[in-house]
């Protein structure tokens, strides 16, 4: 076994600091009990629990050794304090103090640390668990210490339970006053920037306590008012500064209780429950605020990631649509320039030959081929899309031809002063109108249909309305709706030109598709 794992300079320093703080607050705690017996709390319990919860497991042997050695040095006969009341010579005392109580502390803390990690008070769950653990270890150590004494002096059960309650309550008060602040400081939960509000609040709180002590020296007792006025700064600090604020509040609540206890004759339990109730409230409030803040930050990060993903998706969609239209434009141009010229040339050559037996038939077939090619070109890229106004493109496009072929009673209405759209804007408008008309013919079984174009001062609106069967709920309009590829394409195209697409399905029948484009985007 490597002994340097447990005994080294770092752990020795930890042990010295721990035992120095432990016995300092122990001496301080004894002063509370001297003031008319009004306060009973054991601050070293808070130092001990914080040390074993925060420091490395390998440092525990030196912590225990330093604590026990210092205890013997202080209280042995002829020692610094020379108080045999804290150093019994019985075998039971040595057994409990040197073996059983350290085993209880180390065992309980080890189990707790396997489930929870520092700072222990940063969320509601860990805060409640830490408080419950503080109660448990206070009762466990009280049972060990007092059990030994009860066996030696044969104390009856009722008296033992009463003493155990007082002992455990005192330990838990010490834990709840000191542990949160030690947790916060050790894990660097403190404020990293200059917070004037924090200093003003704490300073005002301390000045109020000093003022209360001064008035008490002048036979004016306002301890009752001070006790309950302290609720406001305690809750404010917990709300404003979360973990650190609640930890600081617990510490100053303890100071407030000490000042109030020195000025009143209330029984100890009154002050103890005041400390516990207010400290628990502050710790839960502070951990709730801290937990909420972390969740909000996480949600904000997720929203940022989602926004980036949406932007990337939209950029990809825009790129795909642009590439698609560019490819259609290229194919349309190639077909027109190449095959169109070849067909015209073939027809010209045939016209020069009058002896061909099936001359007229071949001419008709070439004309049909040419018309089929023009139709294909119109599907790839509407004729005139680069030069004509969008309303003219729609009027002479396959959209109108398809409506006539489907024998649908349609109307085309134009109002306002037309606007000169860019070719890339016109192609998206055309595709949205084309998709809306196609859906009305293919799926809605519409009998009548209208295409309305309205130019106003602030916007241009393109509307396709029919009297068809409407859009099924499984496609549009419900929580679980799954839009088709056509509807998704319409919406994406509308976004690309900063337009707003509104699709309304009426009951019992009819659908209105409306595309509105702000005029500031039309140049």
End-to-end CA distance of the chain: 82
Q: Which residue intervals of 443-517 are DSSP H helices?
A: 485-496
The confidence score (pLDDT) of residue 74 equals 76
Residue indicated by tokens 């926004």 = 307
503 and 511 Cβ atoms separated by less than 8 Å: yes
Say how far apart CA 170 and CA 384 lie, in whole Å: 91
Each of the 523 residues of the chain gets a pLDDT tens digit; together they read 567 777 888 888 999 999 999 888 887 777 655 454 545 678 899 999 999 999 999 999 999 999 888 878 877 666 666 565 566 667 888 888 889 999 999 999 999 999 998 889 989 999 999 999 999 999 999 999 888 888 877 878 888 888 889 889 989 999 999 999 999 988 877 666 667 889 999 999 999 999 999 998 899 999 889 988 999 999 999 999 999 999 999 999 999 998 888 888 888 888 889 999 999 999 999 999 999 998 999 999 888 888 887 777 767 666 666 666 666 666 666 565 556 565 666 666 666 665 555 666 666 666 666 666 665 555 566 778 888 899 998 988 888 988 998 889 999 999 988 888 888 888 889 989 998 998 888 888 888 999 999 998 888 999 999 988 887 765 554 434 455 667 878 888 888 888 999 988 876 678 999 999 987 655 5
Report the candidate in 300, 314, 228, 207 with the shortest Cα–Cα distance to residue 271.
Answer: 228
Pairing of strands 511-518, 500-505: antiparallel
The confidence score (pLDDT) of residue 128 equals 95
Say how far apart CA 514 and CA 461 lie, in whole Å: 7
Say how far apart CA 424 and CA 467 lie, in whole Å: 31
**Burial status of residue 455 (CB atoms within 10 A of its CB: 0-12, 13-18, 19 or more):** middle
196 and 64 Cβ atoms separated by less than 8 Å: no
State how far the alpha carbon of 491 is from the alpha carbons of 317, 383, 430, 433, 494, in Å: 11, 24, 13, 12, 5
The confidence score (pLDDT) of residue 162 equals 87
Say how far apart CA 512 and CA 462 lie, in whole Å: 10
Q: What kind of fold does domain 386-521 have according to CATH?
A: Heat Shock Protein 90 (3.30.565)
Say how far apart CA 47 and CA 41 lie, in whole Å: 13
Q: Which two tokens stand for residue 401?
A: 């031809």
Q: Which two tokens stand for residue 157?
A: 């059960």
φ, ψ (nearest 5 deg) of residue 412: -125, 120
């Amino acid at each position: 076994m490597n002994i340097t794992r447990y005994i080294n300079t770092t752990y020795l320093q930890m042990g010295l600091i721990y035992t120095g703080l432990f016995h300092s607050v122990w001496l301080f705690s004894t002063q509370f009990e001297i003031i008319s017996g009004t306060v009973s709390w054991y601050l070293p319990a808070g130092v001990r629990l914080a040390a074993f919860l925060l420091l490395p497991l390998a440092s525990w042997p030196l912590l225990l050794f330093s604590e026990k050695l210092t205890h013997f040095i202080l209280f042995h006969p002829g020692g610094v304090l020379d108080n045999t009341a804290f150093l019994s010579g019985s075998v039971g005392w040595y057994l409990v103090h040197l073996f059983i109580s350290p085993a209880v502390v180390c065992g309980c803390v080890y189990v707790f640390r396997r489930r929870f990690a520092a700072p222990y008070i940063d969320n509601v769950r860990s805060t409640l668990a830490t408080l419950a653990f503080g109660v448990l270890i206070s009762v466990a150590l009280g049972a060990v210490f007092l059990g030994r004494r009860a066996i030696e002096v044969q104390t009856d059960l009722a008296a033992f339970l009463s003493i155990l309650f007082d002992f455990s309550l005192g330990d838990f008060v010490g834990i709840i006053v000191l542990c949160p602040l030690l947790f916060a400081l050790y894990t660097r939960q403190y404020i990293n920037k200059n917070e004037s509000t924090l200093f003003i609040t704490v300073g005002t709180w301390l000045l109020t306590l000093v003022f209360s002590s001064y008035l008490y020296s002048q036979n004016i007792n306002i301890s009752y008012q001070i006790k309950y006025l302290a609720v406001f700064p305690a809750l404010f600090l917990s709300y404003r500064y979360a973990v650190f604020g609640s930890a600081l509040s617990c510490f100053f609540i303890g100071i407030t209780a000490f000042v109030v206890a020195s000025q009143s004759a209330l029984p100890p339990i009154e002050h103890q429950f005041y400390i516990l109730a207010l400290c628990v409230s502050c710790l839960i409030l502070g951990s709730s605020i801290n937990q909420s803040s972390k969740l909000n930050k996480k949600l904000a990060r997720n929203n940022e990631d989602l926004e980036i993903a949406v932007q990337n998706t939209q950029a990809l969609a825009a790129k795909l649509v642009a590439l698609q239209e560019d490819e259609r434009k290229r194919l349309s141009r190639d077909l027109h320039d190449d095959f169109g010229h070849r067909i015209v040339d073939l027809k010209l050559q045939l016209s020069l030959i009058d002896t061909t037996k099936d001359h007229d038939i071949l001419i008709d077939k070439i004309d049909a081929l040419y018309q089929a090619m023009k139709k294909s070109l119109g599907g790839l890229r509407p004729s005139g899309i680069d030069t004509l106004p969008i309303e003219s493109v729609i009027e002479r496009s396959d959209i109108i031809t398809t409506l006539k072929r489907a024998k649908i009673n349609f109307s085309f209405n134009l109002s306002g002063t037309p606007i000169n759209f860019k070719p890339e804007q016109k192609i998206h408008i055309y595709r949205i109108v084309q998709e809306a008309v196609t859906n009305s013919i293919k799926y809605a079984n519409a009998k009548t249909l209208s295409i309305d174009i309205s130019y106003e001062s602030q916007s241009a609106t393109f509307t396709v309305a029919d009297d068809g069967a409407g859009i099924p709920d499984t496609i549009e309009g419900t929580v679980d709706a799954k839009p088709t590829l056509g509807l998704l394409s319409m919406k994406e195209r509308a976004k690309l030109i900063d337009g707003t697409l509104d699709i309304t399905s009426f009951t019992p029948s009819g659908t209105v598709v409306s595309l509105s484009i702000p005029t500031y985007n039309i140049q």
